[in-house]
Amino acid sequence: MSSNSANKLVYGPDDTPRTKRDAILYSAQWIMIMFYPVVWGYSIVGKGLGFEGQDLCLYMTRVVFVIGASTLLQALFGHRLAMISGPNIIPSLAIVAACSVGGADYALESFNAFIIAGIIVAILSALGIMDKIGSVWTPIVSGAMILMVGLSTSTTGVSLVASDGFSMPFALGIGLALFCGWLSIKGRGLIATVPVLITIVIGYLAFIALGKFDWGLVASMPVFTIPQLFPYGISLPPIDLIVTMTVVTIFASANAYGNVEGYSEIVDAKQTEREHRRTFTIFGLIEHCLTGALGAPPTAPYGENLGFVLLTRVASRFFLICASIACIAMSFFGTIGGVMAAMPESVAGAVLIGVACTLIGIGARTMVQAGAFNTREIFIVGFSVFLALGTSFLPDSFFSETPRLVSTLLKNPVIMVIILTVIMEQLVMRKPQCRYAADTTSTACAENPPRITNSTDETK
């Protein structure tokens, strides 16, 4: 969407509310939308590491806190856009992969490893190195990554929905997933912006009515809590884990770069080099260092923010700042963490399945709309996606002789698809620079025909 579309926004990025009604309505809308990243924190890392009982409740309060804090600081001092930051799928899957490779204790050390990785990325940002990401972050890479996120999310979602076997919760979860998708397509106005929240509320009510909601978990939490620093210890992580999570963080930053660039174009607020550096400094020091110190998965600005602004036409960061402050305040109430920790697995799975369907479609559209999508591009994406996904499902015996660093990367399909797509597109199947005087028949040249020039023009 160009500046013409941006002019149709109800509120632009720097606009303030025109009425008290708008201030309350649109701030409340963002609070409701901010429940969406909570599901990611719960379902990927929370359930992936097997947190239970009060450990899960306290973990959820910290997740709520980091969602609010990272969103607030980015909106105030970083990209300065109305973009929610939440648990990022790339490092979240890396934590779960570390658990699969080295066990629970090894995975818990990932949080401290992300502190070091965040410092490294902040330094790279200050040196201007992170600005070079755009040169390899092509639509093919972005689309393949989004597609893989959708596929990975769908497998997690189905596992959660089927956690009680072929039973009523399974049928209810599938029904909720279909309802979430239908609502996102058919919903109008405010309802269209919060299908995830509506699905969660209906799911909770259904499981409460069936007597399958764990009220004891909610009652076990104190009324007020304070997010604990270094809940899993303060020891120095193994060097292989530091290297792994640094690589993961760099790829996560590439994902964040693409999300911020796409959103800034949507609202006609193109980011400057200085703003990019501020964004990635906060990305490293807050969205990785602070979250790691709190034992929560690293966060990043979500790509779904593009969908939110297209639906609501509200891009003012004023409302998101108010919602972020409210989110931080909620994290100090233990009962809220208990309610989130008691989320029925089928409800969380239903949300992930609904989101996965959208992500898979967006990934495909991103690649196709990028320009030429011919045999070369089809093979690059197909090879990268299926090799990355297939490798992540190989049995543990396959990885028994591989270094943990390699195993952790191989088990993360999102990281692998980015690596494979970049290598295939930029090296293995890089398009040749044609000399049309010598070759005007090859496919690569045909896709990029020479422009018509005057006799005085220099051939480019």
At residue 110, the pLDDT reads: 95
User: Please, what sign has the CA dihedral across residues 341, 185, 154, 104?
Assistant: negative
Q: Is residue 453 part of a domain?
A: no
Domain count, the chain: 1
Q: Is residue 162 part of a domain?
A: yes
At residue 393, the pLDDT reads: 86
Backbone angles phi, psi at 224, to 5 degrees: -120, 140
**Locate tokens 């106005």: which residue?**
189
Q: 237 near 112, Cβ under 8 Å?
A: yes
Q: 259 near 303, Cβ under 8 Å?
A: yes
Low-confidence ranges of the chain (pLDDT < 50): 1-7, 435-444, 446-460
Structural domain containing residue 28? 3-433
Type of residue numbered 335: T
CA distance 440 to 32: 56
Report residue 358 as tokens: 């959208």
**Locate tokens 């909570």: which residue?**
38
At residue 237, the pLDDT reads: 94
CA distance 247 to 11: 38
Q: 442 near 434, Cβ under 8 Å?
A: yes
CA torsion angle 256 232 243 144 (round to 10): -30
Give the C-alpha distances (Å, rounded to integers) separating 2 from 6, 264, 266, 276, 388.
6, 10, 6, 20, 35
Helix (H) or strand (E) holding 87: strand 85-87
Q: Is residue 442 part of a domain?
A: no
How many other C-beta atoms lie within 10 A of the C-beta of residue 195?
Answer: 23
What do you get for the CA distance between the two ends of the chain, in Å?
30
Helix (H) or strand (E) holding 73: helix 53-77
CA distance 330 to 325: 9
71: left (phi over 0), alpha (psi -120 to 50) or beta: alpha
Q: Is residue 278 part of a domain?
A: yes
Q: 355 near 54, Cβ under 8 Å?
A: no
Query: b/e for 318-340, b at 16 or more Cβ within 10 A?
Result: bbbbbbbbebbebbbbbbbbbbb
Q: Is residue 354 part of a domain?
A: yes
Q: Is residue 191 part of a domain?
A: yes
CA distance 443 to 451: 17
At residue 81, the pLDDT reads: 94
CA distance 105 to 270: 43
Q: Is residue 404 part of a domain?
A: yes
DSSP assignments along 159-184, one per residue: HHHTTT-SSHHHHHHHHHHHHHHHHH
CA distance 138 to 145: 11
Q: How far is CA 100 from the centre of its chain?
A: 21
Q: Is residue 444 part of a domain?
A: no
pTM: 0.81
